[in-house]
Amino acid sequence: GSLNQLKVAVATALPTHGDNKGAQINLAFVRQELAKAKDAVFKFKELVKAAAEEGAAGGGGMTRRTMGKDDKSRTLYERFGGDLNLEAAVELLFGKAVMDNRVKSYFEINARKLQTIRQRMFQFLSGFLGGPKLYDATNVKPSHYHMNITDFHFDSFIDLLAIATKEVGVHADACKDFLAALGKVRKDITTGCTVRMELAQKNMEKGKDGLFKRLDGESGI
């Protein structure tokens, strides 16, 4: 993959342990390989984007061949296929989410902010699945607290993620375990909405909801 090409390029350009301290990195070679990797990543993202649009239009999109073997002794990150598979799944997921009537209202934001959220999603999932920890998981709850995300919205998003995961070719067992693990963050995602709904219910039961007060209570009604 492009990431591995980049690693090889940098490793090749670096002086070996036996070289003199004065040895220099071959900058021209590094720049050349970085340009190739960047172009490959761009083309890959364009393919993913096109597949997401085709899938949303009912065409089914691009589905990779499913992994033939699933080793449950490995981390979910490894079973998922590593960073490239994870990034592809997140790209597909967001391509579907922005067009899904159940959740698209949460993504009707400018392109720059959407890209930031997409990146944080990838970073969170990387560490959550046992890969590189790129995101502070303690931020999940506060960052979603005021978004009024219900269980319905959470389940809808998970449905889309399940489809995206299948489309990148993740083994069915790994996909099942991955989605089950995500259930652990449901409470962090939906807590804000749950708290406000429970508070509103209590206020209604006590006759303290806003409309009741504005009508001057029972006498006003």
| pTM, two decimal places | 0.64
- The per-residue pLDDT for 61 is 47
Q: How far is CA 67 from each of CA 50, 85, 103, 182, rounded to the nearest angstrom?
A: 22, 11, 29, 21
- Record the tokens describing residue 21, joined without a space: 């301290």
207 φψ region: left (φ > 0), alpha (ψ -120 to 50), beta (else):
left
Q: How many CB atoms lie within 10 A of CB 137?
A: 13
Widest CA span of the chain, in angstroms?
91
Tokens 């990779």 locate to 64
- The per-residue pLDDT for 22 is 46
- Record the tokens describing residue 100, joined without a space: 């899904």
Q: How far is CA 50 from each of CA 30, 37, 54, 74, 136, rounded to the nearest angstrom?
A: 30, 20, 6, 32, 31
- The per-residue pLDDT for 163 is 96
How many whole angstroms separate alpha carbon 57 and alpha carbon 38? 29
- The per-residue pLDDT for 177 is 96
- The per-residue pLDDT for 18 is 52
- The per-residue pLDDT for 54 is 59
pLDDT values of the chain reduced to their tens digit, one per residue, 221 residues? 455 555 555 555 555 555 555 445 567 776 777 777 776 676 666 666 666 665 555 544 445 556 668 899 999 999 999 999 999 999 999 999 999 999 999 998 899 999 999 999 999 999 999 999 999 999 999 999 999 999 999 999 999 999 999 999 999 999 999 999 999 999 999 998 888 888 878 777 766 555 556 666 555 55
- The per-residue pLDDT for 123 is 95
For 134-158, give the DSSP string: -S-GGGHHHHHTTS---HHHHHHHH
How many whole angstroms separate alpha carbon 17 and alpha carbon 14? 9
- The per-residue pLDDT for 208 is 58
- The per-residue pLDDT for 199 is 83
